[in-house]
Structure 1
């Protein structure tokens, strides 16, 4: 599982990643929300058609935000969304919207983060995000989306 670093005991970690075959090809996004490697609360793996890598990375972060806000059980929890895309994380966390083509996605993500209150988006190295990376590659080949919740 690489160098996965567990969050503090009162924080949930959502590792996300995007994967693209080639420069712009079949793409997939994946995320895993967990307390620790043996306690996974949610996972998703979704094919997103033909995209470039930065689009896939931003869509993975957006999906994690959407899932966090969709579950009442996560209200008030501190959640760190980790991505190995330095550019995507920078655009989301700074006033600069980055590439104009992503401004609507960045704006939507920022609004969800404001509503969630205790959720942040942080950069993590590929090594510490290896499970999400592996599963995103699988998502690019999927014919069906997968979303699994385990909040009990």
Structure 2
């Protein structure tokens, strides 16, 4: 029941963020305290913070799908989590995932988030023939994925998997975007810290 409640609150937070008016709370804050949804419209943040908040998700070019992926960990938990959301050029949700992984350094975890997005793409007849952008907020992870070789020695296998996937029949590009434009994936990753199994949903 707790996971269902969190999923409902997460969806509400996405819808609220899509409204024209400003809303001062993040998805994570709503999950911690659902009373945030009772906001009366009074501004609770400074003008400077409000300007910083206005970094929105940007749609991919027409006919292209875009994964936003992220990773999260809690030092008090024995695992980390990767999460991602796939959207169309109109902003419509296509798929969501949240997966536990072994605890690791955050840039390494971002690599595994990209790997999971590629695996979901490659095994789905619905999307594997479409052009896909994978967007991460880790500049290091994106750089390693786009290099022909190199990267940390302990990431040799996942990086080779990513490079081989990019050179296969899949049409994939991997790009960097700041976390502020990646809030849905960030929320999925944080929400997944409370799970011990993968969550995958097609919309």
- Fold-level match, TM-score > 0.5? yes
Greater Rg by CA: 2
- Where do 5+ consecutive residues of structure 2 fail to align? 1-16, 18-54
Q: How does 1:2-151 map to 2 (within 5 A)?
A: 3-22=56-75, 26-35=79-88, 39-150=92-203
For residues 32-60 of structure 1, the C-alpha deviation after alignment (integer angstroms, 9 at most, x for no partner) is 11115752111101111322212211110
Equivalents in 2 of 1:23, 1:107: separation in Å? 31
- In the TM superposition, residue 76 of structure 1 has moved relative to its aligned partner by 2.7
Structure with the greater relative contact order (CA < 8 A, sep ≥ 6): 1 or 2?
1
CA RMSD of aligned residues (A): 2.0
Q: Which has the higher strand share?
A: 1
Judged with a 3 Å threshold, the aligned counterparts in structure 2 of structure 1 residues 141 and 24 are, in CA distance, closer, same or farther, namely closer
TM-score of the superposed pair, with normalisation by structure 2: 0.68
| Residues 20, 52 of structure 1: 8 Å contact kept | no
TM-score of the superposed pair, with normalisation by structure 1: 0.89
Q: Which has the higher helix share?
A: 2
Judged with a 3 Å threshold, the aligned counterparts in structure 2 of structure 1 residues 54 and 34 are, in CA distance, closer, same or farther, namely same
Equivalents in 1 of 2:200, 2:194: separation in Å? 15
- Where do 5+ consecutive residues of structure 1 fail to align? none
Equivalents in 2 of 1:83, 1:43: separation in Å? 15
Length, aligned pairs only: 150
